[in-house]
Chain A
Amino acid sequence: MYRILEKKELSMRNIWYKIEAPHVAKKVQPGQFVIVRAFPNGERIPLTPVMWDREEGWIVLITFIRGKTTMRMANELKPGDSILNIAGPLGNPAEMEKFGKILAIGAYTGIVEVYPIAKAWQELGNDVTTLHVTFEPMVVLKDELEKAVGRHVLETVPIDPNLDFPTNMKNVTKRLVEKVREMLEKENYDLVFMVGPAGDQKAVFEVVKEFGIPMKADLHPIMVDGTGMCGACRVTVGGEVKFACIDGPEFDAYQVDWDVLIARTGYYTDMEMRAFQEYMKLFEQAVQGGEQ
């Protein structure tokens, strides 16, 4: 049981949890993640420690509300409550080297995973530029990134209320691709790194490839245990099967089979939707019942 010390809404659908988890705080390195189970009938989801204090024994997780589990956490967990399970740290740390001039990209809440890595790269003597592309009301960690790296570029896209969410998301992808192209044309980078939806990672990779710049990507396949015992998170890298939880999550973007990753990531979409809708129905009933 891991106590929630702080919880706050950073921006639209982005929730900050500061949690007591000394076993993770003591060991975690930039690039590593944890698996969280918040409720007795709950699922295990991968999340990334964004900040930590080894002495005080806490980590910060920032979740984007995108389905039942993250919504339920946002609705039902209060400071002082406990999270049932936080396993970790898991995965391999990001490579800590002097690469030179780095462009580190975060799409949507992906920027929270970029933060610890970009910060460490900068501290190591790299010249890091971070790029955050997201919807206007969903900006996070702006001040923190401005402090941590050489330059933080924020690109926001308005949410058009007349369009559905997938169409709005296409606008983010478009802006992302345009902005990356513009930045790569203007300046020479030694490395591009990106965290975000697999489709956006692929779109950005297509641009980076034209410039021939090395690119790394943190992959987000579906995970269950996170310790290499099931292969749910398997990806094809350089023609070989790899398990993202123990071989990654960071891989050479040039070696990744993006189409396999995109297909696998979407396999449970219908069930995810059902779980979410049924939860929201119950939640609304509970809220209305409480008001009467």
Chain B
Amino acid sequence: MAVKRKLIKERVPTPERPAEERIRDFKEVNLGYTFELAVKEAERCLQCPANYAPCIKGCPVHIDIPGFIGKLVQYRDDPDKAVKEALQVIWACNSLPATTGRVCPQEDQCEMNCVMGKVGDKVNIGKLERFVADYAREKGIDEELLFEMVPKIEKKGQKVAIIGAGPAGLTAAGELAKLGYDVTIYEALHEPGGVLMYGIPEFRLPKSIVKSEIDKLRKLGVKILTDHIVGKTVTIEELLEEYDAVFIGSGAGTPRLINAPGINLNGIYTANEFLTRVNLMKAYLFPEYDTPVKVGKRVIVIGAGNTAMDAARSARRFGAEVIIAYRRGEEDVSAREEEVEHAKEEGIKFEYFINPVEFIGDENGNVKAVKFEKMKPLEERDSRGKRKIVGTGEYVTIEADTVIIAIGKHPNRLIINTPGLKVERGRIVVDENLMTSIPGVFAGGDAIRGEATVILAMGDGRRAAKAIHEYLTKKRNENA
């Protein structure tokens, strides 16, 4: 018998800290749901069947979204049980839900196809996922689940090396560990997490949360070797002697620079350097932390992607006046809507249709202004569907004492110079199983895509783990 239910059109909002308070620190902006609010939001979900649910199709790792949301409603009288059951559903597909719940562009993925969108607001899937992970962590429910899971894992006796402890590598490692493989991650920096640690700021993704999610992978048996630079400390060839398979998740960490005079003046940072100093090295706590960073009175951030928003909003928290300079128009901005809104609320100014042509310095080699050419859009569109732009021959100079370049990144050269590894336009070439030109070596994430998103990298990590499992199962059977 069909149950009659009332549609709740409006989304239950999550509390946020006001802009004037949050620009004074690096603490998290969005405070997330309480259990009561989460249940209220969960009740809005229509519980589409799993084989149909469009939200599941939109999720790159295919979490059973109605499944976990349903648990919150089903066990509403027992919050701990509700969260434990929900987390179990999420963990089947995603080992880092506190992270993805915060940083995924849900509007382009799971939430994009949510049926509720036809009658009202889409279900706030990201914030519900985040709630489950946060509540579980605070109450130790995740530990309990791990404690139950780990002894059930059947060891396969085969070893897999993962290059890079970013979203792709961590996901692949988690999946492979759950399947019983002996997994070791090789990470160049001193902290695992990749862009989650050095790129995404504390106020969007607290580092303690990333660390705790990574610790759970360690409890699944994943070993992490930091300070190991594959290509220098050890080569892929050497890894293949010791391991049965290798996954490359080394990301796209090399910043693109603007080919304009004055690019090496002091005060000009790449977004990677600026964000690494601020996030990974905690330069905003200098001199309590040893790494310095300099943010002047006026900062120009060049670019309008998520990295540009992160850099601009970080700079704002040092008390600077911040301008985002973008060579295209407002409609072409590629950053998430939520981030652009947050940036605007925090008082960041946007200048459109200007393209830097020269960085002007003072007698000490410090930047003091940026000269831009004014651009205009054409009707014609490029391959990504964005309007093409041309210079107008008119120029404008804007003074600034700090400039942050956020125009994109390339895959790291240290990895792609591996002999025998097929690379096109700086990206590692893979087949439909994410296997590279070297048998037994797989790759995913930004290393094969160029700059993309955290969740796409995680999707690749999961797909690669499946492919590696198949590859190694065959290998086991051949040897048996």
Q: Which residues of A contact B (CB under 8 A)?
A: 23-24, 27, 32, 37, 39, 41-44, 68-69, 84-90, 224-225, 227-232, 234-236, 241, 246, 257, 259-260, 263-264, 267-268, 271-272, 274-275, 278-279
Whose C-beta in chain A lies nearest to the C-beta of B266? A267
Q: Is the interface of A mostly helix, strand, loop or mixed?
A: mixed
Whether B290 and A69, one on each chain, are in contact in the complex, defined by CB atoms closer than 8 angstroms, is: yes
Whether B227 and A87, one on each chain, are in contact in the complex, defined by CB atoms closer than 8 angstroms, is: yes
**Known contacts A41-B290, A268-B294; is-contact A231 B270 (Cβ 8 Å):** yes
Provide the residues of chain B in CB contact with A228, threshold 8 Å.
253-254, 412-414
State in angstroms the CA–CA spacing of A86 and B226 once bound together. 9
B277 CB within 8 Å of chain A: yes
What are 17 A-B pairs with beta-carbon distances under 8 A?
A23-B233, A32-B232, A42-B290, A44-B281, A85-B190, A85-B227, A86-B227, A87-B233, A225-B276, A227-B229, A229-B272, A241-B264, A260-B365, A263-B365, A263-B366, A264-B365, A274-B287
Whether B273 and A230, one on each chain, are in contact in the complex, defined by CB atoms closer than 8 angstroms, is: yes
In the assembled complex, the CB of B255 is this many whole angstroms from the nearest CB of chain A, namely 5
Whose C-beta in chain A lies nearest to the C-beta of B259? A241
Whether A263 and B266, one on each chain, are in contact in the complex, defined by CB atoms closer than 8 angstroms, is: yes
Whether B257 and A271, one on each chain, are in contact in the complex, defined by CB atoms closer than 8 angstroms, is: no
Q: Is the interface of B mostly helix, strand, loop or mixed?
A: loop
Mark B266-308 against chain A: 1 for CB-CB distance below 8 A, else 0. 1101101100110001100111111110100000000000000
B364 CB within 8 Å of chain A: yes
Whose C-beta in chain B lies nearest to the C-beta of A68? B290
B53 CB within 8 Å of chain A: no
Provide the residues of chain B in CB contact with A85, threshold 8 Å.
190, 226-227
Whose C-beta in chain B lies nearest to the C-beta of A24? B233
**Known contacts A231-B257, A241-B264, A267-B294; is-contact A224 B190 (Cβ 8 Å):** no
State in angstroms the CA–CA spacing of A216 and B148 once bound together. 60
Whether A275 and B270, one on each chain, are in contact in the complex, defined by CB atoms closer than 8 angstroms, is: no
Provide the residues of chain B in CB contact with A231, threshold 8 Å.
255, 257, 270, 272-273
In the assembled complex, the CB of A54 is this many whole angstroms from the nearest CB of chain B, namely 13
Whose C-beta in chain A lies nearest to the C-beta of B199? A229
Whose C-beta in chain B lies nearest to the C-beta of A264? B266
State in angstroms the CA–CA spacing of A227 and B234 once bound together. 14
State in angstroms the CA–CA spacing of A32 and B285 once bound together. 31
B204 CB within 8 Å of chain A: no
Provide the residues of chain B in CB contact with A272, threshold 8 Å.
292
State in angstroms the CA–CA spacing of A235 and B365 once bound together. 13
In the assembled complex, the CB of A11 is this many whole angstroms from the nearest CB of chain B, namely 25
In the assembled complex, the CB of B180 is this many whole angstroms from the nearest CB of chain A, namely 27
Provide the residues of chain A in CB contact with B267, threshold 8 Å.
267
In the assembled complex, the CB of B54 is this many whole angstroms from the nearest CB of chain A, namely 37
In the assembled complex, the CB of A206 is this many whole angstroms from the nearest CB of chain B, namely 19
Provide the residues of chain A in CB contact with B96, threshold 8 Å.
none
In the assembled complex, the CB of B30 is this many whole angstroms from the nearest CB of chain A, namely 27
Whether A43 and B290, one on each chain, are in contact in the complex, defined by CB atoms closer than 8 angstroms, is: yes
In the assembled complex, the CB of A47 is this many whole angstroms from the nearest CB of chain B, namely 13
B317 CB within 8 Å of chain A: no
In the assembled complex, the CB of B345 is this many whole angstroms from the nearest CB of chain A, namely 29
Whether A264 and B264, one on each chain, are in contact in the complex, defined by CB atoms closer than 8 angstroms, is: yes
